[in-house]
Structure 1
Amino acid sequence: MKTVSSVVEDYIKSKPFLLTSLAQGIINLTSLARIMMPEIEAQIGKDLKQGAVVMALKRLSEELDFKINHKINKVLRNIGEITVRSSLNDYTFVVSDTILENKTRLLDEIKQRPDVFYTSSRGVNEANLVISDSVANLVEKHFKDEKLSHKLENLSSITVKLPIENITVPGVYYFIFQRLAWEGIVLNEVISTTNEFTIIVDDEYVDKAFKVIKDLKSV
């Protein structure tokens, strides 16, 4: 049997921006309850008093304040080095039997060049390569027989060092990417390791994205 609390929680969790605003205490609970009432009553199957929804929202907001704000803020305050690289290209190739071999050849040519930014990943159907524009000729050389499905130029990367606690606190990436979305920043790629993540953005967004991430340390 559905309860008012469970239905209210499901409603809020289905709306990410509303979820964080509720946790931050910047929403009028009475007004929100009034908007939610028709949907909540439809799911419960009976008429409800608005006060019951308000109380469910109040309990949820107190719980979220601890889960989202206190734990995540502790991680964000300890964000480490933020590194920016520019003049990058982003290539997406269709996966083939030769793609790994060609990546190996490319890596062999750039392994003695610390100035070159390089990262790659492979999915089920696509292989991705983000690399400095200065070696675009090498990509063309080694991947000339591969099927290029997408290419983006004039990109920048922002690499963020996270504290080790990030792997035990849920919602860290959600919180970061939500802030970037609020500022209208489009992410072309997201690359992560255990305690580090890199976002790839158009050059026009890099200054704004850097500021958003830097400001997270003082939330």
Structure 2
Amino acid sequence: MHFTTGIMKTISSVVEHYIKKKPFLQSALAQGIINLTSLSRIVKPEIEAELGKDIRNGAIVMALKRLSDDLEFRATHKIIKVLKNIGEITVRSSLTDFTFLLSDSLLENQRLLLKEVNKDKDVFYTSSRGVNESNIVVSNSLDKTVETLFEGERCTQKAENLSSITVKLPSENVTVPGIYYFIFQRLAWEGIVLYEVISTTNEFTILVDDEHVDIAFKTIKDLKTL
């Protein structure tokens, strides 16, 4: 009996891992619109290959039923409903990310930088402030301006050749837990490194390498079709 329980746990973990890689299946399971017996036959070869042994269809059906009853999968259905209503996705390239340690003069230097930013409405600028450091992201045409104005500050990082992707989210995003986890999980699966994540109530901006911006954009855009 202990031996059988151990096998079932293994089947459950492998089936769960398989389904979690296919968010459209998560949604369909949550809605109860999939025939579990038919699905078990489809996934059986991959599950058996992963476990290295023959598995009964009934064991896979049981694992799928547990998943479909799981609260996480019900929550996934709510998340997908929100993501289907993602709004405008805006991409900007040729950006530089500066990180400075906080100081008494930092805000004044940022004020001077904003004066320069306001002279050209086409340049990109965003800033965030943490407990110990402040971050400034600008179009690379402003690199020299930042370096001059912040010459007396301590710069701990300068990352160049970055792109930003700004995503407009529907207002329901603040009432459904797991939205950001769902998005960032899929970006991580694609091997995309996020230099910065900057958010407001109904939109967020990520900063990635220029070379990864196409796949990052596609990954986010594809969420609308889950």
Say whether 1:114 aligns with 2:126.
no
Rounded to whole Å, the distance in 2 between the matches of 1:19 and 1:132 is: 41
The one of 187, 190, 195 equivalent to 1:188 is: 195
Are 1:68 and 2:76 an aligned pair? yes
Ranges in structure 1 where 5+ consecutive residues have no aligned partner = 1-7, 36-50
Query: What one-letter code is carried by the residue in structure 1 that aligns with 2:171?
Result: I
Indicate the RMSD between aligned Cα atoms, in angstroms.
3.0
Which amino acid in the other structure matches residue 191 of structure 2? Answer: G
Distance change in 2, residues 1:17/1:129 (3 Å): farther
Alignment partners' CA distance in 1, 2:65 and 2:122 = 53
TM-score, reference length from structure 2 = 0.74
Q: Structure 2 vs 1, CA of residues 19 and 169 (structure 1 numbering), >3 Å: closer, same or farther?
A: farther
- Identify the range of structure 1 (189-198 vs 58-67) with the bigger mean alpha-carbon deviation: 58-67
| Percent of pairs with identical residues | 62
Which deviations, in whole Å up to 9, do the C-alpha atoms of 1:55-107 show, x marking residues without a partner?
687435423332112x1111111000000000100001111111111111100
Q: What is the identity, as a one-letter code, of the residue corresponding to 1:169?
A: V
- The number of residues matched between the two structures is 190
State which of 155, 165, 168 in structure 2 corresponds to 1:158: 165
Moved more, 194-203 or 94-103: 94-103
Unpaired segments of 5 or more residues in structure 2? 1-8, 30-38, 52-57
Mapped to 2, the partners of 1:57 and 1:94 lie a distance apart of: 50
When normalised by structure 1's length, the TM-score is 0.76
What corresponds to 1:101 in structure 2?
108
Number of the residue aligned with 1:205:
212
Structure 1 counterpart of 2:95, one-letter code:
L
Over 3 Å counting, the alpha-carbon distance change for 1:145 and 1:17 in structure 2 is farther
Counterpart amino acid of 1:100? Answer: L
1:141 to 101, 124, 148: 148
